[in-house]
């Protein structure tokens, strides 16, 4: 079996084992027996030992989380130069000058330099200014596809791009209730994630590393002549390598067209292509200019533009009060689709473009995806910035933040803010009320049925009017009311999240509720300092919670809402002094307990914790076959973790 095939097999095993662990420990579902799990685990361990490679996510390793006070700086061994650029496809073909080259994606993330020594990742440094970068080694260890160990034991330095996919970017943004707090694009999210002072945060962001450049291999007995050979070598070590194709003057235009068709649906952000001579020695012989290496060149997409006329500017209020300008123009065809709208982002851009109704403008799709205004030819500047909010008719306010002007509605009772707030309130992770879409909420708010949160639970008073509304009838009304009635029974964390408190997501709500014993009165009366000392909360979130419950109007509305609800509080767990705070791992068959879940429930009810794998934080491994050579037993012995039987455990809790 080749190294590449072995690597693929390891990836399959990791996926299966992690899926089984998640099902068992997080979802209380057993999808394979202990024997099957251990056999697959041992097979993975054997392959890791044989290949010398340990892939990210492997259940055989655990990445420890660590917080640092700052990111140290370090000078790169060789400077990281920018690339010369062109948008001309013919110029790119001429650049080849008869030589073969590799054409690959130019990924839009954060460039990282990795150093491996003795088969282990020893250092990860950001590009920085090209000369000096920031050391992010602990954060890099959490990248979801990065090998922790490789077969090659010499010194290896490679460059690549840390990236976050569009899907993960959207999922992370969906968890942020505040519109103004959402991340602007995957690149900014990735950069912030990689440069965190606590790598536990990085680990939650699904950052990937894609190698694009082999820098050096100290003490290597391998003499690569082609860059494609270097990429093959990196693949064998377990790295994900950027997609590339060998091209010549005859094939390059077709390959550019291939990438152009792919970019709109490519899952990773890309802002162009990179062309690099395949012959390493030839590339080196060309040297470099003061700014650019001569062995590579970047290709930026020549954005397809179209001229049109500005018809209107739609000012769209959001739940935070931010009013976003959206340009409406005569429809045009761009990159194969019809486009008639483009976000203008803020007042500063509106002013800099000197926009006016009727102006002739050119529009394009940034990176062939996002519609933007490129230029205003007539620059009439006659566009009026609204002095009143389109949704509530109250006065607007222009705020200047870091030199950028943005338009806000400062009216807390603005219907637009209410629609977004109510939409969050009824959402799946909040009160779970089906049938109240934003469009329906807007209808109910506009006719005065809903002015505050508690009004949702009084909608039955308007049965006749609701049944006569467009899109409603008796059946849809009954279904809506049934969903509302069901939502009256609610867990406290879901209710706290549903309130839309600034910066408080569901996970933070759970932490806060647990810290204050699920006592809503304690949370309402807590000081900023008392909330801030809670794990992973801090001053910003604590201040948001405190301010919410000390705002007289919000507190009054909350108290009215609580009168309509039955807040469910988890039963307080009895703590056994012998196992309180202790971490257990369970493996093998059981004799006195119905199944692992029953034993797990008992441990947690007594204040203990149950983990999926043995680590340095494990206190006990429960295994009736104490002398077995299973992978968990081996790991426990290596870490001096006590292995006990069910009988031992029963004695422990007496």
Distance CA 575, CA 424 (A): 36
Task: Encode pLDDT of 620-630 as tens digits.
Answer: 999 988 888 88
Task: Encode pLDDT of 160-178 as tens digits.
Answer: 999 999 888 888 877 765 5
Predicted local distance difference test score (pLDDT) of residue 28: 39
Cα 427 to Cα 200, 483, 497, 499: the distances in Å are 27, 12, 10, 11
End-to-end Cα, the chain, rounded Å: 53
Predicted local distance difference test score (pLDDT) of residue 293: 86
Predicted local distance difference test score (pLDDT) of residue 85: 81
Tell which wins on pLDDT, 23 or 370.
370
**Residue 63 pLDDT greater than 60, yes or no:** no
pLDDT level of residue 27 (50, 70, 90 thresholds): very low
**Residue 211 pLDDT greater than 90, yes or no:** yes
Distance CA 229, CA 226 (A): 5
Predicted local distance difference test score (pLDDT) of residue 129: 75
Among 122-136, 426-440, 481-495, 595-609, whose mean pLDDT is lowest?
Answer: 595-609
Instruction: Please provide the DSSP assignment of 589-609 as one string.
Output: --SSSSSHHHHHHHHHHTT-E
Distance CA 276, CA 256 (A): 14
Q: Hey, which of 126-140, 275-289, 585-599 has the most confident mean pLDDT?
A: 275-289
Distance CA 633, CA 622 (A): 10
Task: Encode pLDDT of 299-313 as tens digits.
Answer: 987 677 889 999 999
Distance CA 216, CA 219 (A): 9
What is the rounded average pLDDT of the residues 129-149?
88
**Residue 8 pLDDT greater than 80, yes or no:** yes
What is the rounded average pLDDT of the residues 260-267?
85
* b/e per residue 459-493 (b: at least 16 CB within 10 A): beebeeebeebeebeeeebeebbebbeebeebbbb
What is the rounded average pLDDT of the residues 43-55?
86
- Cα–Cα–Cα angle for 194, 195, 198, nearest 5°? 90
Distance CA 224, CA 233 (A): 9
**Residue 48 pLDDT greater than 90, yes or no:** no
Please report, for the chain, how many H helices and E strands are present, in that order: 24, 24
The answer to whether 140 and 146 have CB atoms below 8 angstroms apart is yes
> 0.75 cut: is pTM over it?
no
Selected catalytic residue, list 85, 106, 261, 374: 106
Predicted local distance difference test score (pLDDT) of residue 613: 81
Q: Which residues have C-beta within 8 Å of that of residue 269, sequence separation ≥ 6?
A: 107, 108, 109, 163, 164, 166, 185, 186, 187, 367
Instruction: Tell which residue, 494, 495, 460, has the closest CA to residue 474.
Output: 460
Average pLDDT in the chain: 85
**Residue 381 pLDDT greater than 70, yes or no:** yes
What is the rounded average pLDDT of the residues 80-96?
86
Distance CA 476, CA 485 (A): 14
Beta strands of 367-425 (E only): which ranges?
A: 370-376, 396-401, 404-409
Alpha helix (H) residue ranges in 365-519: 415-425, 438-446, 463-467, 474-486, 492-498, 506-515
Other beta carbons within 10 angstroms of residue 257's beta carbon come to 11
Instruction: Please provide the DSSP assignment of 475-506 as one string.
Output: HHHHHHHHHHHHTTEEEHHHHHHHTT-TT--H
Predicted local distance difference test score (pLDDT) of residue 26: 45
- Helix (H/G/I), strand (E/B), else coil: 652: helix
Predicted local distance difference test score (pLDDT) of residue 432: 92
Catalytic site includes residue 106: yes
Predicted local distance difference test score (pLDDT) of residue 574: 61
Q: What is the DSSP letter of 357?
A: T
Distance CA 444, CA 555 (A): 23
The answer to whether 558 and 549 have CB atoms below 8 angstroms apart is yes
Six-digit token pair at 212?
A: 């694009």
* b/e per residue 311-334 (b: at least 16 CB within 10 A): eebebebbbbbbbbbebebeebeb
**Residue 477 pLDDT greater than 50, yes or no:** yes
Among 180-184, 344-348, 461-465, 500-504, whose mean pLDDT is lowest?
Answer: 180-184
pLDDT level of residue 234 (50, 70, 90 thresholds): very high
What is the rounded average pLDDT of the residues 329-339?
82
Task: Encode pLDDT of 486-521 as tens digits.
Answer: 999 999 989 999 999 988 888 788 888 888 988 999
609-611 sheet: strands from edge to edge: 609-611, 583-586, 620-622, 642-644
Task: Encode pLDDT of 195-207 as tens digits.
Answer: 888 888 888 889 9
What is the rounded average pLDDT of the residues 441-461?
84
Tell which wins on pLDDT, 646 or 468.
646
Instruction: Tell which residue, 95, 489, 551, 155, has the closest CA to residue 296.
Output: 95
């Amino acid at each position: 079996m080749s190294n590449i095939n072995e690597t693929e097999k390891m990836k399959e095993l990791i996926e299966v084992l992690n899926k089984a662990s998640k099902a068992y420990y997080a979802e209380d579902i057993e999808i394979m027996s202990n024997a099957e799990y251990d056999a697959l685990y041992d097979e993975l361990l054997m392959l890791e030992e044989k290949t010398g490679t340990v892939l990210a996510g492997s259940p055989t390793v655990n990445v420890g989380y660590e917080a640092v006070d700052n990111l140290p700086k370090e000078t790169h061994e060789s400077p990281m130069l920018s690339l010369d650029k062109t948008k001309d496809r013919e110029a790119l073909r001429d650049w080849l000058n008869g030589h073969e080259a590799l054409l690959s994606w130019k990924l839009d993330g954060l460039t990282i330099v990795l150093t491996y020594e003795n088969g282990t990742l020893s250092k990860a440094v950001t590009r920085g200014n090209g000369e000096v970068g920031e050391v992010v080694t602990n954060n890099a260890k959490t990248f979801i596809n990065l090998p922790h160990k490789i077969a090659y034991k010499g010194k290896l330095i490679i460059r690549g791009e840390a990236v976050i996919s569009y899907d993960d970017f959207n999922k992370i943004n969906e968890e942020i209730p505040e519109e103004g707090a959402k991340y602007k694009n995957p690149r900014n999210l990735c950069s912030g994630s990689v440069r965190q002072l606590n790598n536990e945060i990085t680990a939650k962001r699904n950052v990937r590393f894609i190698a694009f450049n082999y820098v050096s291999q100290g003490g290597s007995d391998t003499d690569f002549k082609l860059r494609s050979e270097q990429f093959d070598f990196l693949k064998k070590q377990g790295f994900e390598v950027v997609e590339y194709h060998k091209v010549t003057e005859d094939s390059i235009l077709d390959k550019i067209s291939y990438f152009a068709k792919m970019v709109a649906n490519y899952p990773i952000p890309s802002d162009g292509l990179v062309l690099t001579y395949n012959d390493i020695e030839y590339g080196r012989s060309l040297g470099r200019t003061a700014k650019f290496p001569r062995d590579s060149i970047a290709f930026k997409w020549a954005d397809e533009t179209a001229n049109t006329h500005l018809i209107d500017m739609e000012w769209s209020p959001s739940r935070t009060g931010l009013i976003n300008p959206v340009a409406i123009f005569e429809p045009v065809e761009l990159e194969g689709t019809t486009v008639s709208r483009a976000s203008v982002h803020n007042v500063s851009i509106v002013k800099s473009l000197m926009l006016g109704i009727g102006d002739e403008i050119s529009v394009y799709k940034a990176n062939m995806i996002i519609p933007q205004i490129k230029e205003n030819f007539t620059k009439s500047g006659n566009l009026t910035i609204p002095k009143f909010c389109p949704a509530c008719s109250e006065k607007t306010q222009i705020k200047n933040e870091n030199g950028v002007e943005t338009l806000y509605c400062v009216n807390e009772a603005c219907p637009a803010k209410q629609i977004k707030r109510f939409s969050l309130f009824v959402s799946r992770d909040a009160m779970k009320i089906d049938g109240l879409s934003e469009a329906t909420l807007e209808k109910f708010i506009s006719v005065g049925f809903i002015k505050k949160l508690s009004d949702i639970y009084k909608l039955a008073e308007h049965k006749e009017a609701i049944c006569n509304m467009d899109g409603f009838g008796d059946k849809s009304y009954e279904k809506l009311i049934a969903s509302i009635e069901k939502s009256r029974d609610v867990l406290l964390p879901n209710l706290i999240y549903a309130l839309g408190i600034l910066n408080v997501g569901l996970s933070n709500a759970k932490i806060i509720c647990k810290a204050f014993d699920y006592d809503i009165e304690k949370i309402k009366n807590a000081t900023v300092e008392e909330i801030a000392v809670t794990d992973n909360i801090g001053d910003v979130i604590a201040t948001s919670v405190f301010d919410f419950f000390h705002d007289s109007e919000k507190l009054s509305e909350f108290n009215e809402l609580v009168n309509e609800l039955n807040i469910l509080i988890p039963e307080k767990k009895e703590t056994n002094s012998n196992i309180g705070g202790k971490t257990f791992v369970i493996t093998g068959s059981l004799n006195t307990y119905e199944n692992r879940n029953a034993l797990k429930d008992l441990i947690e009810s007594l204040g203990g914790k149950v983990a999926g794998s043995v680590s340095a934080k494990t206190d006990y491994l429960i295994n009736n076959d104490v002398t077995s050579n299973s992978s968990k037993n081996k790991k426990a012995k290596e870490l001096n973790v006590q292995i006990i039987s069910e009988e031992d455990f029963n004695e422990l809790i007496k």
